[in-house]
Amino acid sequence: MGLPYFKRAENRLKGPDDYHDTHGPLILETGPCKNPLFQAFLNSTEQAGYPLTDDVNGYRQEGFGAFDRNISRGRRLSAARAYLHPVLKQRPNLDVICRAFTTKILFDGKKAIGVEFIKGKKGRAQTIHSSEVICCGGAINSPQILQLSGVGNAEELEKLGIKPVHDLPGVGENMQDHLEVYVQYKCKKPVSLNPSLKWWKKPFIGYQWLFHRSGAAATNHFEAGGFIRSNNEVEYPNIQFHFLPLAIRYDGSQPSHDHGYQVHVGPMYSNAIGSVKIKSADPKQHPALRFNYLSTDQDRKEWVEAIRCARKIMNQPAFDEFNGGETSPGNHIQTDDDILDWVAKDAETALHPSCTCKMGKDDMAVVDPDTMKVHGVENLRVADASVMPYVTNGNIYAPVMMVAEKACDLILGNTLEPPSTAGFYRHKA
């Protein structure tokens, strides 16, 4: 999609350069990294032989440093808050219907003419007609709604009692994602964020956020991390790290009772490919999600390398004053098979599902990259993470914004942004 499309979207508080701008609606704040555990982490990455970088989203992705986050005044700046909320009262042609469940896209022959939806748990089906439909349900809901509407593998749809509108076998195929684990350590010094989880701390944390937009609730805490090549055979960084001065699971469960810290780690471009398939014609029934994690030799190899690289970093002298020992997976996990068994049991999605309605011109492509229109039907486009041909080498939020920005130009018939001429770092083996 091209770097200019994210430059157009962003307002980086640190200032503009060849890779960032300061005029877009999405505000980017660089992590302050004030907790001493962040500095220990960055020092340890250097001691382990990895470089530091000023910006993992700039000239050099490979290396470690402070991360940019879409946070403004202590609050996550979502796409809705950045783009939608400012114009809700300014656009007479814009209606937003919340808590509505889309059940199908309506077709007249092969022409999309609107959508059917249900508002509320017991609401009746309603329809809205339109000269064009743009599907932005993401990598799970977009292929689901296409399949429910008769666009997909015709043979599979017919078995479910759905009359095919267009045979498009790539719908729901090519599912890709990022998987990650936490390598956790006990902290010998009382400097981690674990005390912030105590119930009696919450009123003060709430006060800090409500009245000063500061404190523990004003950051996502993933303020530092980086990317490395796990071996010299790969040309670009293939492993990502996020450091957290806290020992806890992604969903907030199982916090450490003592001070602790962790690094999140996982491969960036695994070749494990899955699918999203509806199981019935009932739109309320969840589709079958098959991610196929750890199903390829490359994926398994990179997982072993990722854990060994993480341990190498986390056990450097820079952590000596803090390192109270590995608590997860634990020192008993040593062999390749041990590591893979632990990853299979403990890993979680990084919530980056993508690629299930991929752009392209081949037989399994779903979306035309020149128009964002669905192949074989009229007046229907898709603009979300599902159109990516392969998962991006990093978090997918910024690339999705780039997809949306360029889709807007294509839909409106605007002159497209020129390709970026900014250079980027290449490793010379």
Nearest to 41 by CA among 281, 223, 177, 194: 223
Q: Beta strands 68-69 and 173-175: pairing type?
A: unpaired
Helix, strand, or coil (residue 27): strand
Here the tokens at position 250 are: 């992604």
H-assigned helices in 86-218? 138-148, 154-159, 202-212
End-to-end alpha-carbon separation of the chain, Å?
A: 28
The torsion of the CA quartet 71, 72, 73, 74, rounded to 10 degrees, works out to -20
**DSSP labels, 250-283:** TTS-S--SS-EEEEEEEESS----EEEE--SS-T
Q: Please tell me the distance from the alpha carbon of residue 272 to that of residue 178, in angstroms, as a whole number.
A: 10
Burial 6-24 (b: 16+ CB within 10 A, else e): bbbbbbbeeeeeebbbeeb
Distances (CA, A) of 179 to 38, 41, 304, 352: 23, 22, 13, 8
Q: Please tell me the distance from the alpha carbon of residue 423 to that of residue 347, in angstroms, as a whole number.
A: 35
Burial (CB < 10 A; 0-12, 13-18, 19+), residue 279, is exposed
Here the tokens at position 365 are: 């492509």
> Across the chain, which distance is largest between two alpha carbons, in Å?
69
Q: Please tell me the distance from the alpha carbon of residue 235 to that of residue 393, in angstroms, as a whole number.
A: 12
Here the tokens at position 284 are: 């309320």
**DSSP labels, 276-310:** EE--SS-TTSPPEEE--TT-SHHHHHHHHHHHHHH
Q: Please tell me the distance from the alpha carbon of residue 223 to that of residue 11, in angstroms, as a whole number.
A: 18
Catalytic (active site) residue 352:
yes
Q: Please tell me the distance from the alpha carbon of residue 379 to that of residue 107, in angstroms, as a whole number.
A: 10
Here the tokens at position 197 are: 């989880």
Which residue in 221, 242, 259, 352 is the catalytic one? Answer: 352
Residues assigned a catalytic role: 352
